[in-house]
Amino acid sequence: MRKKFNFSLLRYTYDVLTQEFVTVGAVVFFPEDRYLKARLSLRHGRLSKMFGAIDGTAYRSLINYIETKIIAMGNEIQQGNLFIDSSRSLEGLLSDVLPSDDSAVQFVSGGTGLSESPERTLVDLYERYVTRFEKTGIDSHRDENDVWKVFQAPLQQKTMYSGLVAKTISTSNYEFEFERCWKNGIWHVFQPISFDLSDNNHILDKANTWLGRATSLSDSAEKFKLYVLLGEPRNPQHSEVFIRAQNLLTKIPGQREFIHERDAQQFADEMESEYHKHVDESE
C-alpha cells in the first residue's frame, strides 16, 4: 500500500547572496511507518571544484555528526520512545538536528509524495538529487525543487492543488515516479526541470536525459500528459543553448506541453479551469 512521505534535502550553500549551492544529502520520513532515515554524501571534491578549497576534515566531521543524530532520532521514533504527533513536521524534527541559521549546511524542504517502499524512496531521492550530479559534475544554481516553487505559489491558491499526488508511470522496461500529478480521465503529470546550470554541455545533456526518459515512458499503457515546467538559465550567456535544449525536448512523443516560469500564473488558472470542468462533467 502506498503511504505518504515527506523529504528534505541537505544543501551546502557557498554564498547566501548568490545562493550557489550543492545538494549533499536526502532525508525521508514516513510518519505512518515511523520511518526516518538519511543518506548523506561525505565527498567534498565537487564542493572544492565549485567553490575553491574546502576543509575536508571539518566537512566530513559535520556530515558524520548530522548522520549520527538522524540515526539516533530515527531509532527513537521507530521504538516509540519519541512521541510524534500530526503537527510535528519533518522540518521540525530536523531543526533539532541542525538549527536553521546562516551556516553553510542547511536542510531545505523537498516535498511530499506517496510510495510503497521507504528504502527505495530514499535511494531514488538520493540518486535524483545527489549521486547523478556527482557522476556528471553538473554545477546547479537552481534545482528542480527551486523551479517547482515558482509554479507552486499560484497553484497553492487553487482548489486542484490539494488533489496532487505522486504517480509512477511504468512500461515493461522502465518506470519513473512523478511527484505531482492529478487525474481527470488521463493523468496530468507536472515535471519541473531546471536548466539553470553553469555549463552549456550540461544543459544539453539534461535535455537529452529527459528526452530519453520521456520517450521510454511513452509506451506506457497508462495514458498521461506531461507538463514540462521549464526553469530557465539566469545567465544570459546560456540563452542560446537553452533554446537548443527546448528544441530537443519538443521531440518527446505523446501528449506534452512546455510552460515557462513567466507563465506560472496562467498555467495555474488553466489547470483550475480544467479541474472544475472535469468535476462539473462528473456530477
Question: Residue 127, Cα to own-chain centre: how many angstroms?
Answer: 11
As a whole number of angstroms, the distance between CA 185 and CA 220 comes to 15
Q: Which pLDDT does position 82 carry in this prediction?
A: 62
CATH number of 148-282: 3.40.1350
- CA-to-CA dists, residue 167 to 7, 80, 113, 114, 262, angstroms: 16, 31, 9, 8, 26
Q: What residues does 225 pair with on adjacent strands?
A: 188
pLDDT digits (tens, 9 = 90+) for 171-203: 988 888 999 999 988 999 999 999 998 778 788
Evaluate if residue 116 carries a pLDDT over 90: no
Q: Is the pTM of this model over 0.85?
A: no
Higher pLDDT, 145 or 150: 150
Q: Where are the domains of the chain?
A: 3-116, 148-282
137: left (phi over 0), alpha (psi -120 to 50) or beta: left
Q: Which pLDDT does position 83 carry in this prediction?
A: 59
Give CA angle at 145 (206, 96), nearest 5°.
135
**Mean pLDDT computed over every residue of the chain:** 85
Which residues, in sequence order, are CB contacts of 37 under 8 Å at separation 6+? Answer: 27, 28, 70, 71, 74, 118, 122
Evaluate if residue 86 carries a pLDDT over 50: no
Q: Which pLDDT does position 48 carry in this prediction?
A: 65
